[in-house]
Structure 1
């Protein structure tokens, strides 16, 4: 695995971003309230902040991330409350139709376009037929003045500081109209959508699709649930 790009920021990541992320996670919790019997996977779980919000509900919690530094923070925060794994989201180590809810916050925008598609396909594979995806990421506006403009400036600076590849992928994501376009490309259906932070952030609750492959012709099939 390549050098961890988050090794220098993992220790203070929550200090910088927790206020914004906590508000977004709260919106997601209201969109799809967790129950004790649910199994939840956080893709790109980072420091475990999102999983920690689900911990009091008694759900079965799982998280994957490619950053050892971020996972170390998550492990310290969550202990044995979550099954945390150092894995790529393009080939998740889970059986088909495992999870009731899959969350992913501020993750898809930093991926290369092809990787983004692979990850969303993997999410669909491991999601139960009646499950939901809760996706939170940057939104391409329009931005409301003044809050939206200032927030956009802060996001742009932060994304530039994250590195050349990260910023290039962010620009592609935004140029491709963010999550709504990505969801439409995969022919998924949005249950609920909320645009916040002056037009800068999108919180989407997305329906599952039952996905399988006709092995005789090797054509992927998808049926909305």
Structure 2
């Protein structure tokens, strides 16, 4: 593997980097999800291009598919993930075109105000509430003043239709802990329930797939 293993800053206890919860899904993640996630990724690329963002961090970058889209649009992109299996896929996807690192997103090894924008796509719903808060705190810290925070995840109405039943089944298949965190995320309002973003300036909001998914952008 050619990605870097970055030491976390000692401000909060890091999550475990030894157990890979995503090893079983890394190879099939893109084939299984691209149909639904790629339209949102392309939408975010367009937004960041229009905002003239030059340096972008993809938090919980997974297989690197989003990283590659951002690089293809001419941005300088870094990606981090806690899963070695996902990062191995990302290395194959991106090669040397992006900087990939094995990190805990709750205590990132980046200086403050490093990136013009930071994105996190379809990862917050699988975390516990305290972990979500710590990730968002770190994302806001590493974004330059006036830069953009981009969130892609389930909207607050994702579970109220027949499509929501399908979403619930998919999340249940991801495992007991994952599903418990998903249920808590939806119960507390999904993206509406993230208290850390309430002090930020909203810039953009777009719904996808009959309001199951949302893209939200904020100025830091």
The answer to whether TM tops 0.5 is yes
Q: Deviations over 1:44-100 (max 9, x none)?
A: 000001011111233211000011101000001101111101100011010000000
Deviation at 1:183, TM superposition (A): 5.0
Which residue, out of 184, 202, 205, partners 1:172? 184
CA distances 1:2-28 after superposition (whole Å, capped 9, x unpaired): 421111111111000011110111221
Q: If you compute each CA radius of gyration, which structure gives the higher value, 1 or 2?
A: 1
Tell whether the 8 Å contact from 1:183 to 1:189 is kept in structure 2 after alignment.
no
C-alpha distance in 2, partners of 1:183/1:39? 26
* Alignment partner, residue 188 of structure 1: 200
Taking the aligned partners of 1:55 and 1:150, their CA distance within structure 2 comes to: 36
Aligned to 2:115: 99
- The 1:32/1:164 distance shift into structure 2, 3 A limit, reads same
Note the C-alpha offset of 1:190. Answer: 1.5
Q: 1:128 to 1:15 in 2, by over 3 A?
A: same
Work out the CA distance in 1 between the residues paired with 2:168 and 2:211.
14
Structure 2 residue runs without a partner (length 5+): 1-16
Match of 2:219 among 207, 210, 213: 207
Return the match for 1:44 from 51, 60, 65. 60
Match of 1:149 among 158, 161, 179: 161
Q: 1:84 aligns with which of 100, 113, 117?
A: 100
How many Å apart are 1:153 and its aligned residue? 2.2
1:216 maps to which residue?
Answer: none
User: Does residue 136 of the first structure (1) align with residue 152 of the second (2)?
Assistant: yes
- Do the aligned partners of 2:60 and 2:120 also contact (CA within 8 Å) in 1? yes
Structure scoring higher RCO (CA < 8 A, sep ≥ 6) equals 2
| TM-score normalised to structure 2 length | 0.87
Question: Given that residues 36 and 57 in structure 1 are in contact (C-alpha distance below 8 angstroms), is that contact kept between their aligned partners in structure 2?
Answer: no
Change (3 A) 1:185 1:22: closer
Partner of 2:124: 108
| Equivalent-residue separation in structure 1 for 2:199 and 2:35 (angstroms) | 33
CA RMSD in angstroms comes to 1.9
Displacement of 1:181 in angstroms is 2.5
TM-score (norm 1): 0.85
The aligned length equals 204
**In 2, Cα distance between equivalents of 1:197 and 1:13:** 19
CA contact (8 A) 1:35 1:58 kept: no
